[in-house]
Structure 1
Amino acid sequence: MENYSVILGVDVSKLTLDISSAERNLHLEISNDNKGFNSFIKWCKLNGIYTKTVFVVME
Structure 2
Amino acid sequence: MRVIIAAILILFAGPAFAADSCEAQIPSSLKVALAKAFPKFRPPLASDNLEEDIEFI
**TM-score where L is the length of structure 1:** 0.27
Relative contact order higher in (CA < 8 Å, ≥ 6 apart): 1
Return the index of the structure with the highest Cα Rg.
Answer: 2
**TM-score where L is the length of structure 2:** 0.28
- Greater percentage in strand: 1
